[in-house]
Amino acid sequence: MNAEPVLSVRELVVRFATDAGTVHAVNGVTFDVGAGDAIGLVGESGSGKTVTSLAVMRLLPKAGRIVSGEVVFRGKELTTLSEHEMRGLRGKEISMVLQDPLSSLNPVLTIGEQIAEAIRAHEDVGRRAARERAAELLGSVGIPGAGDQLERFPHQFSGGMRQRVMIATALVLHPKVLIADEPTTALDVTVQAQVLELLHELTKELGTAIVLISHDLGIMARMTRRITVMYAGFVMESAPTVELFARPRHPYTVGLLGSIPRAGADGELRPIEGAPPDLERAPVGCPFEPRCARRIAACRETMPPLVPAADASHLVACHNPVPS
């Protein structure tokens, strides 16, 4: 990992105020992304992955609030930045690809308009120049006849094409960081591979660091160099991808790895038993404790800190980690 991370999240805490009470969505999440690096945030739905990424972008829904923690981008603290300055970063320095490409494209605007508005939000270019850039870009993400495609509407594209458009839009201004939130979950399996390949190539070419959010460990293994495992808004384990797959230390990670179907194994899918906890209660102890096979008395009392397990790059938050 590079010495100076381009994006660094420290002890991030996010809460939501709802009719039913306070929801503890993110409880002290920490991770770093080096320039041009690729890291993954993995966890079940409800683990706080998406909320973390929205907090980094400062695009939390109204009910959500960053309670404490730091988000540092190239030495700049983002949580206290003015909305005006923050807007200047969004899409230009840090951009985002959302899960469902159909719902993230406005149905009544043409593809061309939606790419061009991303350019014109940050650069003082004319309509025509923005259009040319958009056409060029569509070509570069493998959409043929790019010039004519600009006039078309989202519903006239296939799912894979739409996600290519979203990726193109996110990368048009050569951002330093791209946050991709489940970028292929809504796509067909055959298209998934192509889109991931495209994402990989483009970010490498532009030197864009990527934060990939997914519940799919197979994708993580292919795309990332380091993985942070999240559960109920906490970081459970964080390690280089190869290390994590080879020597998972947290019982939850072991469970996750156990629940990916692997060819050649017994073919049984082994989901972790039980359901994720109710985020409405204030977190006391380890949130995974009720589902954990290795729980001990301390797990009920305190949340274990995230500490180095074997070497400094492999961190785990567990009172009773799996021996390596």
Partner 1 sequence: MIAEQVAAEPETTGGRRALRATRRFLGVSWLNVLGAAIVVLVLFLAVLGRGIAPHDPNELDLAATLQGPAAAHWFGTDNLGRDLFSRVLAGARISIEVAVIILFLSVAFGTLLGIVSGLVGGLVDEIIMRITDLFLAFPAFILAAAIAATLGPSLNHTVLALAVVFWPWYTRLARGQVLSLREREFVLAARVAGAGTMRIATGHLVRNVLPIIIVQVSLDVGYAILATSALSFLGLGAQPPTPEWGAIITDGRSYIQTAWWFPTFPGLALAVTVLGFNLLGDGLRDWIDPRLRGSLGGVEG
Partner 2 sequence: MGGLIARRLAFMVFVIWGVTFVTFFLSRVVPGDPVRLLAGPRAGKAELAHIRDLYGLDEPLPAQYRRYMTDLLHGDLGTSFVTRRDVTSDIAAFLPATLELSGYALLLGFVGGLVAGSVAAFRRGSGVDAAGRLSAIAGLSVPAFWLALLLQLLFHTQLGWFPLGGRLDASVTPPPHITGLLTIDSLLTLNLSAFSNALWHLALPVVTLAAGVYGLMTRVVRTSVLDVLGEDYVRAAEAKGLTRWRVIRRHVLRNGLLPAVTILGLEFGLLASGVFVVEAVFQWPGLGSYAFNAIQAADYNATLGATLVIAIIYVFTNLIVDLGYLYLDPRIRYS
Establish if 48 lies at the interface with partner 1 (CB under 8 A).
yes
Question: Given the rule CB under 8 A, which of 18-26, 156-164, 189-197, 260-268 is the region that contacts partner 1?
Answer: 18-26
Q: Beta strand 209-214 with 307-308: parallel, antiparallel or unpaired?
A: unpaired
Q: Indicate which of partner 2, partner 1, none lies near residue 47 (CB less than 5 to 8 Å, by partner kind).
A: partner 1
DSSP 172-193: TT--SEEEEESTTTTS-HHHHH
d(CA 106, CA 68): 34
* Among positions 74, 87, 225, 294, the unique one binding partner 2 when judged by CB under 8 A: 87
CB of 90 to partner 2, least distance (A): 4
User: What is d(CA 52, CA 278) in angstroms, rounded to the nearest whole number?
Assistant: 18
Counting every residue written for the chain, the total comes to 324
Residues 178-217 that bind partner 1 (CB under 8 A): 181-182, 213
Can you read off the two tokens belonging to residue 58? 């400062």
The option from partner 1, partner 2, none interacting with 10 (CB < 5 to 8 A, set by class) reads none
**Which has the closest alpha carbon to 290: 276, 280, 304, 271?**
276
Q: Are strands 226-231 and 38-42 parallel, antiparallel or unpaired?
A: parallel
Site for partner 2 in 114-133 (CB under 8 A): 117-118, 121-122
Binding to partner 2 (CB under 8 A): which residues in 11-70?
Answer: 54, 57, 59, 62
User: Does residue 215 interact with partner 2 by CB under 8 A?
Assistant: no
d(CA 145, CA 287): 52
Contacting residues toward partner 2, per CB under 8 A: 54, 57, 59, 62, 83, 87-92, 95-96, 98-100, 103-109, 117-118, 121-122, 153, 155-156, 166, 169-170
